[in-house]
Amino acid sequence: MTTWKEEVCARVDGLAGRLGEVSQEIHAHPELKFDASRLLADELRGAGFSVELAIGGLDTAIRAAHPAARGGPTVAILGEYDALPEIGHACGHNLIAAASLGASLALGAIKAELPGTLLFLGTPAEEGGGGKVILIEKGLFRGVDAAMMFHPATYTVVERGSLAITEVVVEFFGKSSHASESPEKGINALDAVIQTYNGINALRQHLNDGARIHGIITNGGAKPNIVPDRAAACFYVRAPESDYRDLLLEKLRRCAEGAALATGATLSFQTVGHSYRAMKTNHPLASAFAANLEALGEPIEPPQHRAMGSTDMGDVSQVVPSIHAYLAICEKAIASHSRDFAEASASSRGQRAMLIAAKALAMTAIDLFTNPDLVERMWEDFKSC
């Protein structure tokens, strides 16, 4: 490794205690969507970064720029820090935040010796609010040459896609009545929700591989002896390609329209929340990150078909060369978005993966700052896809 890379790795090791505290504090105080803390901003400001809060109209979004900026690429290291309802950091975003912070602080200590511009972007509400999508729309990624982050997982891979996703709320409005005395006078909105579910289940055998439609009932009525006059469900529609996601969205709409016709209920069909594009991994950037992981002694698993989720990093990858690497923090038998994964996000293995990720992110940023050929190949790959 070069002297600069050795230096940032040593600085990450020196920061290990504080990064662990940051990770554990975020883990212990899970915050949803746009309610993230100012802990990261305070750490960056204390290290001499120029910190802006509430960027792009989001109260907890952060843009932190290192003051030593001169000719060269602009590299953004992204942090996520939102949690999940009820099960906290069951996606490990506390580790993402700490790793990105560690990489930025380590780079900041030597940035005066390097060309280019270093940014830390704190991006709230990945779990449903689309914080990165909003920041893209507000122009926060304009002028950025590369965007990088890591994500905790049960495996270590650098190149992995994501599914395009759209969130849909389906509501049915019927007519209340006594469910025993005069059910014939009512229109059962819950029946329409159930018919919609049945229609989706009939579709499953006809979906392309990797596509998903899944949801929950959010309102099923008030009491068993009242015919529900309102019922609602929330669905996620996902696919590897945005076009097929949109096709499935229309299929879901037809299932709901058929349920309304069959029951006599009135339908409200709304796309809400987040709508993310699929991930477009930048191959030269991913190769550089993989080489740095290997230099750190971290084994990378071979590419293979894996089930995928969705992320608003997919939207970033469509406008800026990007990577969204995964590092293992637990055994493969543990599922993401589970209480077991939340425990792993606070474990010693999780802390180790966070430090490895911080080093690899910082090392890859050094590659970008010092290797114009890599930057050129990165942009060629981005424009060709």
Q: Which two tokens stand for residue 124?
A: 């709230």
Q: What does the pLDDT read at residue 197?
A: 96
Q: Per residue in 101-146, pLDDT tens?
A: 999 999 999 999 999 999 999 999 888 788 999 999 999 999 999 9
Q: Provide the 10 A C-beta neighbour count for residue 257.
A: 14
pLDDT value of residue 36: 59
**Nearest one of 17, 192, 226, 229 to 102, comparing CA atoms:** 17
| pLDDT for residue 1 | 55
Angle between helices 372-384 and 283-295 (to 10 degrees): 130
Alpha-carbon gap, residue 385 to 381, rounded angstroms: 6
Domain ranges of the chain: 3-162+279-384, 164-276
Angle at 213 between CA 210 and CA 216, to 5 degrees: 140
Q: What is the pLDDT of residue 379?
A: 98
What's the pLDDT at 361?
98
| Rg value, the chain, Cα | 23
Number of H helices, E strands in the chain: 11, 10
Domain 3-162+279-384 is in which class? alpha beta
Which pLDDT value is given to residue 126?
87
Low-confidence ranges of the chain (pLDDT < 50): none
Fill in the DSSP letter of residue 385: -
**pTM for this structure?**
0.87
Q: What's the pLDDT score for residue 381?
A: 97
pLDDT at 144: 98
Sorted by sequence, the CB contacts under 8 Å of residue 339 that are 6+ apart come out as: 87, 90
Asked if 353 contacts 329 with a C-beta cutoff of 8 angstroms, the reply is yes
- How do residues 253-306 score in pLDDT, each as one tens digit? 999 999 999 999 999 999 986 689 999 999 999 999 999 999 999 999 987 667
Task: Evaluate whether the domain defined by 164-276 bears CATH number 3.40.50.300.
Answer: no
> What pLDDT does residue 185 have?
96
